[in-house]
């Protein structure tokens, strides 16, 4: 079941997400709006300088769209507890992100909530600890 909705709740997350975005500018993404989608993991592209979590989202008419959620590379994600083994293909997940301005199905990964309720915030990978 697909849901796609604006998220006022994500305002706090947005502040954290915009604090740093290395390698390339994030100006192709919305700066003040987030979306939330539910779907299943298609593939986790565990690559430098950015990783992509691909999520298949099915709409009410049964059409499947693959969304891509961009995050930092493996070293940073690992520090946030995010690894491919946590997002195997078929895993149910609710993704919150800042979408592309041009309407393509891609977003900055702000928060992932897995089907078992576990949350994954890529920004935690920049925490010094």
Partner 1 sequence: MKLTSLVATAVLLIGTALLVNTVRAEDAAEARQRMIELGKAHKTAESLYLALKERAHGGRRLAPSSMPDWSGVYTRARGGITFDPDQQRGAPPTAKLTPEFQRKLAERIEMANKGIEWDPISTCSPPGHPRWLTEPFLRDFVVTPDQTYLINEMVNDIRRIYTDGRGHIAKEDRLPLYNGDSIGFWDGDKLVIHTNQLQAGIYQRRNPDYTDQVETVEIWQKVNPRLIEVDVWVYDPPALVEPWYTKQSYAKLDDQNKTLRIRYWHCGENQNNTVVETDGGGTQFRDFTFDGQGSGIGDQGSGGKP
Residues that bind partner 1 (CB under 8 A): 19-25, 27-28, 31, 42-43, 45, 47-50, 52, 54, 65-68, 70, 73-76, 78-79, 100-102, 104-106, 126, 128-129
Write the burial class of residue 57 (CB in 10 Å: 0-12 exposed, 13-18 middle, 19+ buried).
Answer: buried
CB of residue 37 vs partner 1: minimum separation in angstroms? 13
Nearest by Cα to 67 from 48, 32, 93, 31: 93
Q: Are 80 and 125 in contact (CB under 8 A)?
A: yes
CB of residue 18 vs partner 1: minimum separation in angstroms? 10
CB of residue 45 vs partner 1: minimum separation in angstroms? 6
3-class SS of residue 43 = strand
9 or 66: CB nearest partner 1? 66
9 or 47: CB nearest partner 1? 47
Other C-beta atoms lying within 10 Å of the C-beta of residue 50: 19
């Amino acid at each position: 079941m697909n849901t796609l909705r604006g998220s006022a709740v994500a305002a706090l997350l947005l502040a954290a997400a915009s604090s740093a975005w290395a390698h390339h500018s994030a100006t192709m993404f919305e700066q003040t709006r987030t979306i939330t989608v539910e779907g299943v993991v298609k593939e986790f592209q565990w690559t430098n300088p950015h990783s992509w979590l691909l999520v298949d989202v099915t709409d009410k008419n049964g059409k499947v769209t693959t969304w891509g959620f961009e995050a930092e590379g493996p070293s940073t994600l690992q520090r946030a507890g995010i690894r491919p083994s946590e997002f195997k293909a078929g895993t149910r997940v609710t993704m919150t992100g800042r979408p592309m301005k041009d309407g393509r199905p891609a977003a900055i990964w702000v928060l992932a909530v897995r089907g078992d309720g576990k949350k994954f915030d890529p920004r935690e990978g920049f925490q010094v600890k």
